């Protein structure tokens, strides 16, 4: 599963920036939170993708050492080609290749939902933070694309099962169990307009994020029925709406 996720993100790296305006919008908001922190000597950005957020950090904290880390080779290559002055590291958030207490702040924008076992990746973030260090970021949560899941299920009940993304309570529990001293977790739902269900699925593919594990087979007829259900139930503006739940976390070691 992990290799499949890496490959899909790697393959999407060339197109990623054209289709990731939602990610950039959240990154800009995340920056507004991060710049309230005292200037750190070292930052780590986990799941940096093509480096949009990492480069914002560099622009705002030119004196800090900044490391962008991603496990997809294509993403790291794209980031390195686009942005100077940042250390780009190909590695997995589950096994960070750094000594303990290497960073003052660990950040992450919309990556941990793919990282598998949250306690493990949060534990790694905690290990590489200095005492009192800050862990701050976002991930997509459980309600993300609920309209899609509901439409697919209504088209052929029980035929198709997705493993859903973590919810707010699971994020809170993972921060607690991975040993963070204090933390805050909250979430917001953002509704995005797509032409139809097919455009939503194509968008997921274009950013490499079509990798939720799933079981079952729907077939073209049920897919077309799901698209009709989606259009009828979830009309939004001139097309259909898709919810993206963004879970925000802020924790102290």
Ligand X SMILES: C[S@@+](CC[C@H](N)C(=O)[O-])C[C@H]1O[C@@H](n2cnc3c(N)ncnc32)[C@H](O)[C@@H]1O
Query: Residue 75 or 185: which CB sits closer to ligand X?
Result: 75
Shortest distance (Å) from residue 99 CB to ligand X: 18
Query: Residue 47 or 141: which CB sits closer to ligand X?
Result: 47
Using rule CB under 6 A, residue 166 touches ligand X? no
Distance of CA 232 to the CA centre of its chain: 29
Could you give the CA distance from residue 54 to residue 68 in angstroms, rounded to a whole number?
6
Q: Which residue has the tokens 């190909």?
A: 90
Q: Write b or e for each residue in 203-218: b if 16 or more Cβ atoms lie within 10 A of its Cβ, otherwise e.
A: bbeebbbebbeeeeeb
Q: 194 to 213, contacts with ligand X by CB under 6 A?
A: 209
Could you give the CA distance from residue 228 to residue 147 in angstroms, rounded to a whole number?
12
Could you give the CA distance from residue 71 to residue 47 in angstroms, rounded to a whole number?
7
Of 7, 64, 94, 243, which lies in the binding site for ligand X, with binding defined by CB under 6 A?
94
Tell me the backbone φ, ψ of residue 105, rounded to 5 degrees: -135, 130
Using rule CB under 6 A, residue 144 touches ligand X? no
User: What number of chain residues touch ligand X (CB under 6 A)?
Assistant: 22
Using rule CB under 6 A, residue 141 touches ligand X? no
Q: 48 to 67, contacts with ligand X by CB under 6 A?
A: 48-49, 52-53
Could you give the CA distance from residue 215 to residue 153 in angstroms, rounded to a whole number?
12
Residue 89, helix vs strand vs coil: strand
The closest residue (CB) to ligand X is: 49
134's tokens: 């800050």
Task: Supply the DSSP string of 171-214, one letter for each residue.
Answer: HHHHHHHTT-SEEEEEEEEEEEEESSHHHHHHHHHHTT-----E
Query: Residue 105 or 111: which CB sits closer to ligand X?
Result: 111
Of 40, 42, 44, 47, which lies in the binding site for ligand X, with binding defined by CB under 6 A?
47
Q: Which residue has the tokens 């097309």?
A: 239
Query: Residue 21 or 189: which CB sits closer to ligand X?
Result: 21
Of 44, 57, 66, 75, which lies in the binding site for ligand X, with binding defined by CB under 6 A?
75
Using rule CB under 6 A, residue 93 touches ligand X? yes
Using rule CB under 6 A, residue 115 touches ligand X? yes
Shortest distance (Å) from residue 8 CB to ligand X: 8
Positions touching ligand X (CB under 6 A) are 9, 20, 23, 27, 47-49, 52-53, 70-72, 75, 92-94, 109-111, 114-115, 209
């Amino acid at each position: 599963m992990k290799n499949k996720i890496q490959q899909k993100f790697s393959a999407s790296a060339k197109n990623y920036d054209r289709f990731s305006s939602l990610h950039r919008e959240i990154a800009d908001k995340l920056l507004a939170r991060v710049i309230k922190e005292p200037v750190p000597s070292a930052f780590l950005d986990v799941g940096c993708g093509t480096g949009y957020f990492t480069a914002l950090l560099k622009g705002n904290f030119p004196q800090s050492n900044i490391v962008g880390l991603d496990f997809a080779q294509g993403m790291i290559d794209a980031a390195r080609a686009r942005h100077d002055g940042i250390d780009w590291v190909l590695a997995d958030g589950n096994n960070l290749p750094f000594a303990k207490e290497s960073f003052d702040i660990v950040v992450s924008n919309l990556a941990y939902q793919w990282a598998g076992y949250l306690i493990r990746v949060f534990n790694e973030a905690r290990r590489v933070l200095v005492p009192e260090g800050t862990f701050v970021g976002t991930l997509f949560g459980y309600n993300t694309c609920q309209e899609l899941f509901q439409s697919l299920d209504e088209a052929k009940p029980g035929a198709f099962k997705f493993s859903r993304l973590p919810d707010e309570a699971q994020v809170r529990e993972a921060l607690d169990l991975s040993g963070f001293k204090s933390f805050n977790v909250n979430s917001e739902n953002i509704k995005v307009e797509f032409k139809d269900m097919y455009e939503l699925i194509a968008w997921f593919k274009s950013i490499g994020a079509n990798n939720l594990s799933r079981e079952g087979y729907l077939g073209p007829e049920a897919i077309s029925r799901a698209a009709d259900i989606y259009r009828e139930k979830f009309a939004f503006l001139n097309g259909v709406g898709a919810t993206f739940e963004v879970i925000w976390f802020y924790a102290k070691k």
